A and B are shown apart, each in its own frame.
Chain A
Amino acid sequence: MSDTHAESVAFVRESVIPPAPPPAKEAGAIRWMRENLFATWFNAILTLVALYLIWVLLSGVVPWIVNGTWQGSSLAECREILQGNGGGCFAVLRERWPQLLFGFQYPDYLRWRPVLAFFLLFVAVPPALFVMFLPRWTLIVTAIYPFLAYWLIWGGTILTPLFAALGVVAGYLAFSFTERRGFVLGLAAGVVTALAVWWIGGLLAGEFSRFLRLEAVVSRAMGGFMLNLVLGIVCVSLSLPIGILLALGRQSSLPVVKGFCVVFIEFVRGVPLITLLFVANVVLAFFLPPDANFDLILRVIIMITLFASAYIAEVIRGGLAALPKGQYEAADSLGLDYAQAMRLIILPQALKISIPGIVNVAVGLFKDTTLVSVISMFDLVGMIRGPILASTAWAGIYWELWAAACLMFFVVCYGISQYSQWLERQLQTDHR
């Protein structure tokens, strides 16, 4: 083998050494355990502690699920069926499932509408989530969805959401026609057109309020997990554009604009969401026209949106700051004006970098929608704490309900954060 001699330096290998299997001291599984679980004595102790913990957890949870019952219409009946075998009383979930999902005021014969809206979500969201794989026109479905969902959940004539959508479309068209004559002009034209369409639409919808009408449901009737989802989705979508504007404002060189944005962002980020919900609950009404009726849900949406937009603004500011300075200079040297540079060059890149951060904010905000239960709205947490735990049939049951709540939130939040990680990897490979 060793034909290398230090004296005669020259050496040539004539035959190739084939790869050999590693020296196997033990069989695969035992070796793996030795390396990954019992490498040192400290590691071995850790392993044992971890195993003990897992055993404790499983020995509590497994019998609870396996022995659990879905029968019975009250805790007493449940206990009778279970005979103290340690099983869970999941009957409460079976019986109160609609309440957990929709709250206790949404008319039961109309529940098919939010259910339909929920399932349409799975058609509407993929085009936005997987832009890179689906044809761009599918985004239209996403764009239509909010208006459709509004109509399904709240009811009323279809003219309301229709004109709302028309206003947006008309505004956008007006903007893109006049934009060439200057961004500000375009913006003004767009806003004016949209407002005009909305105004006309409002009149028409009032006039023909029976046209293609679904039975209207008041906002107060919203509840359960549906309320969390509605608040989460609406507030995140609304806060995105506001957040972008705030981020740009904070970066701007105009002291008035910059100052306002800084004060707003720092103020909102400095106070807890609860205090903003208090504002929505008891203070905001002072500052709105006395005759207009903004119901609680709308006020809450306003405040949560403002809250979210401050956080999103900070994320986007991070994205803007992370862009190399060369990008700004390149945009300038191409002769683009501020609006064009931002829209065509800076923002697309900055938003791309910010996506993981935005998703984090979205997940956090979705979790924070449970706080509305503190101002006596009946979201999922509010339903459990209020009507269900206070009912005579189910007072004294808690593990099953909280486990259900945990599971529902976990599925949504974990799903979103996994998506964000996937997207992050996707974008990383894009860059190379």
Chain B
Amino acid sequence: MGIVSNIKNNPGRLMSGNGKRSVGFHTPTTPVEKILALLSRYREASILVVAILLVIYFQIGSDGQFLTSQFLSVVLRDTGRLGLIAIAEVMLMITGEIDLSVSSVFSFAPYAMVLMANSLGVPLVLAAIISLVMGVLVGVLNGVVTVRFRVPSLITTVGTLFLFQGLVVWINDSQPIVAPIQEPFNAFFGQNLFQPNDSLLSWHSVTAFTPFLWTLAAVVIIALVLNRTTFGLHTIATGSNIVGAREIGVRTDRIKIYNFMLAGGLAAFAGIINTVQFSSADPQAGSPFLTLQAIAAAVIGGTSLLGGSGTVVGALIGAFVVATLNNGLVMVGAQATVSDIYLGAAILGAMILNVQVNRLRARRRI
């Protein structure tokens, strides 16, 4: 046989046989190259740096008020809410799709849950499960319309966004309804029992962070699913090269539908936690702005809008950055609306950096 490989004996040499060295993998030498190499290797690295810098900035700017359990429970609550939706968008964006209807499910599912509990006497746990299933079914609708009827998901989900937002407002004349409290359901899913003089090592301090802890669990699970299961592999394949994936036997339509279902379920879950937190189901709880912030979190976290690659851990850190900007700027005395300016700039900056790092990677192969 003509060409002999010696990968094992000679791991340092990339090409074998004729003694030529491969040009493929340039070893970074200068500090700038090293940093760029790190950034391109770990997509989460750049957003993590941003997050740490923001925390330091606000901690100093607020005279040490940022890193208190009181304030962090607010930031992390928002992080949790955004994060759940952001990881749903990450999975869909990896397949090359997007879901703009998540905010309507975020309003619709918990509203249905509370209505079932209040008017039909369904136990909250059961009502929560039923409304989760409803969220998943919205995902089925989004997925089927997108893959079977070939409507771009951007359009499909704008349609279902108005449809379900309209439904939830219509059901009860856009009236918020008070959610019942049934322990341990409420304590478990986000009712904040923490008092300023409670010990940090008490159960009450855990409840201060439950929304975030649920999100953290979801991130760990989805990250494992994405990186360690056949489903995750096929999700990446679908977005990276849909024709090739089909040719090799990946059922790309199903993969997309499953990811829409996941998004619907996660949005419902986020909505339920939010409702439990505020003890009230508001038909306007989720605005499209929430979806856009979640997409922003995913994108600044390192997920490509082009499909094929993404990171849920990055999205969680991205959600933290967005939540920190929203709350931190207010705390240091800025107007609430100013945070949008920073967020907008952050998105543009992150995108420019991503594109540049990718170009560098393609050119220099760092």
Decide if A and B are genuine partners: no
